Structure 1
Amino acid sequence: MRVTLRDVAERAGVSFKTVSNVLNDHPHVSAATRERVREAVTELGYRPNTSARSLRHGRSGILALAVPELTSPYFAALASAASRAAKERGRVLVIEETRGDAEGERIALVELTSRLVDGVVLSPLVTSAAEVVHRIGRTPVVLLGEQHLALPADHVAIDSVAAARAVTEHLLATGRRRIAVIGRQADGTTGGQRWHGHLQALAAAGLEPDERRAVSVGAYRRSDGAEAVRRLLRSGERPDAVLCFNDLLALGALHALHEAGLDVPGDVAVAGFDDLEEARYRGLTSVAPDLDLLAGEAVRLLVRRVEDPDARPVRVDIPFRLEVRGSTVPGR
């Protein structure tokens, strides 16, 4: 049976209130009484009910993370890092999968805000700012990703424009000029931000983009990357580099290029984003965000927001590095 405060009080020979005062570090308790209570706590193995204590303060100690899909290695790694970060701060993290569509994000927002959670770390792909505000209400929220929502909320992201510019500059430095891009999206999205970074690098090199080599995809999966490359090759386009806006697209692109008998990087260089573990073992050049820092900052800001709802919202840009490997430079 669970040991209660009353059990501790009986063992120590003091009142229930005295035990509560000791456990809450109340200053007006004698040293002798404090020691007697602590001995009783140790002997009985009493553990405080932190959930009940949190509820008395209007908090549950539970945070939520809503991501598009847990089958994605990137979001699975992010969820793992966020869970560790929450645990380090004495919180429990629950995970919601939104599937990356409007209905999935709406359902997740409704479920999260109806549960006993203190706040939500949200990675929206398609939900508008107005909808997020409507669904979240007064629940503390921290946004992840490069989608620019005009919300009075904390935001953690990498600078996708700078990252895409850096990887494009790398491809140009290796002599590539016919760079295909897979994963272009509308402005304001992650793919849109990365497209603008790519354009900046081309402009700085005095090059014009070729729209025929900018391929949109239905999703950011391996099969989408492979099919995008096949479409490019069927159209007669022969790029000398393929820049993919995540590693899963790039891994699919590698498969299709090998399928077509093309050498990587001899005929075509390939680069991606996210630096997945699979990408490292496949020798894929990739933009590597500091995922542990990203998750840690998101949790830190959410806890801060829970404890101080009126804190001024901030944006935190997480650093990245370009991991150059054999898919763009032979022998690497």
Structure 2
Amino acid sequence: MARVRLQDVAERAGVSIKTVSNVVNGKGAITAATRARVEQVLGELQYRPNVAARHLRRGHSGMIAVALPEITQPYFAEIASELVRAAKARHLTVLLNQTDGRAENERAISDGIDMPLMDGLIMSALALGPEDLRHRLDSSPLVLLGEHVPDSPYPHVAIDNHAAARTATRHLAEIGRRRIAAIGAKRATGDATPAETAQLRLEGYREGLADAGLPWRDELVVAVADFHRADGAAAMHRLLELPEPPDAVFCFNDLLALGALRALRDRGLSAPDDVAVIGIDDIEEGRFSTPSLSTIAPDKRWIAETAVDLLLRPHQDARSSTAAGHRLVPRESTAGPGGTP
């Protein structure tokens, strides 16, 4: 079916094309009777405005790109959902990309290679460095999520990883645990292995121990290759093989914590009776695990809203970088039955 044009509406309503345009765009001084007649014809002909053409006439595409490492990871999926919602509220469409955390993929998207015209890019960059960002081929606005790129010329939105980890560790100490382990201390080297989040969470864990007057024990800190369930399970099995296993574990994200819970179950142990477990991210899966998972909840909606708003600012400044708030959500894995749902 051919697209209905403004001219078609004007001819049936007996008015000028300009009048129809004013009604569609809510502009101009038009009598109530004329507006009603035009709106009736718009409905009869099922007119739909050509939003893409309208944006292009204004020098915009009406689309933004979002590039995330792993869309299958629940945290990134939930962030993507919030970004789509925030963009839609601002009459923008989102083109979602997966980079797998690889430098060549991130660089291509950052440079706009094989990408349609975009009004900007929101990216969680795991492998790009400051030189990559300073020499982008694409001049469109960019906002970074998650991993911070030092000396980047672009604004950055993330949670305060250090403070979040400190809060999680202090919670474990406050419920009386004294051998508190950490899973996720650092990742293996390579192109898809950002270190900053892990390092900041490790520092927060260290300070949380100090706040509680607890010593640092090297054997209780387990490194992982990735922040996935299998890595958490493997790390938990290692900790349980120690001569003195931990009585609590802070996992650097919820997926690691869910893997740790599975390992406990496989060993005939439980949380929090034998080992209390807490993560970071507040993914939906953790609310329905058995036991439900205690976590640090970042304000994902705020992160998305802020990222989109920063992207739409007329002038970008790296000094606009900001950190989202977070809150402790104690559930069954640390608080036992009756924990926060």
TM-score relative to the length of structure 2: 0.86
Within a 5 Å distance, the mapping from 1:129-148 to structure 2 comes to 129-135=130-136, 137-148=138-149
Within a 5 Å distance, the mapping from 1:3-152 to structure 2 comes to 3-21=4-22, 23-24=24-25, 27=28, 37-110=38-111, 114-135=115-136, 137-152=138-153
- CA displacement at 1:22 relative to structure 2: 5.1
In structure 2, how many angstroms separate the alpha carbons of the residues matched to 1:311 and 1:51?
Answer: 28
- CA displacement at 1:146 relative to structure 2: 4.2
Identity of aligned residues (%): 48
- CA displacement at 1:158 relative to structure 2: 1.4
User: 1:325 is matched with which residue?
Assistant: 331
User: 2:306 is matched with which residue?
Assistant: 297
In structure 2, how many angstroms separate the alpha carbons of the residues matched to 1:329 and 1:34?
Answer: 62
SS in 2 for 1:114: coil
- CA displacement at 1:232 relative to structure 2: 2.8
In structure 2, how many angstroms separate the alpha carbons of the residues matched to 1:35 and 1:240?
Answer: 71
**8 A contact 1:147–1:189 mirrored in 2:** yes
User: 1:249 is matched with which residue?
Assistant: 256
Over 3 Å counting, the alpha-carbon distance change for 1:196 and 1:112 in structure 2 is: farther
**8 A contact 1:68–1:99 mirrored in 2:** yes
The RMSD of aligned alpha carbons is 2.6
**What do residues 273-294 of structure 1 show as CA deviations (whole Å, max 9, x unaligned)?**
1122221122211111222222
Amino acid at match of 2:170: E
User: 2:3 is matched with which residue?
Assistant: 2
- CA displacement at 1:76 relative to structure 2: 1.2
User: 2:199 is matched with which residue?
Assistant: 192
Corresponding residue pairs, total: 329
**8 A contact 1:146–1:193 mirrored in 2:** no
Q: Structure 2: which 5+ residue stretches go unaligned?
A: 188-193
**What do residues 46-90 of structure 1 show as CA deviations (whole Å, max 9, x unaligned)?**
222111010112211111111111111111111112112211211
In structure 2, how many angstroms separate the alpha carbons of the residues matched to 1:244 and 1:262?
Answer: 17
**What do residues 23-62 of structure 1 show as CA deviations (whole Å, max 9, x unaligned)?**
4555477777666544543443322211101011221111
Structure 1 window deviating more from structure 2 (78-87 vs 309-318): it is 309-318
In structure 2, how many angstroms separate the alpha carbons of the residues matched to 1:101 and 1:157?
Answer: 20
Q: Structure 1: which 5+ residue stretches go unaligned?
A: none
In structure 2, how many angstroms separate the alpha carbons of the residues matched to 1:136 and 1:242?
Answer: 44
Matched, 1:287 2:293: no
- CA displacement at 1:3 relative to structure 2: 0.9
User: 2:191 is matched with which residue?
Assistant: none
SS in 1 for 2:152: coil
Amino acid at match of 2:52: S
Within a 5 Å distance, the mapping from 1:267-282 to structure 2 comes to 267-282=274-289
TM-score relative to the length of structure 1: 0.88
- CA displacement at 1:172 relative to structure 2: 0.9
In structure 2, how many angstroms separate the alpha carbons of the residues matched to 1:313 and 1:57?
Answer: 28
Within a 5 Å distance, the mapping from 1:204-215 to structure 2 comes to 204-215=211-222
Over 3 Å counting, the alpha-carbon distance change for 1:233 and 1:28 in structure 2 is: closer
In structure 1, how many angstroms separate the alpha carbons of the residues matched to 2:198 and 2:85?
Answer: 28
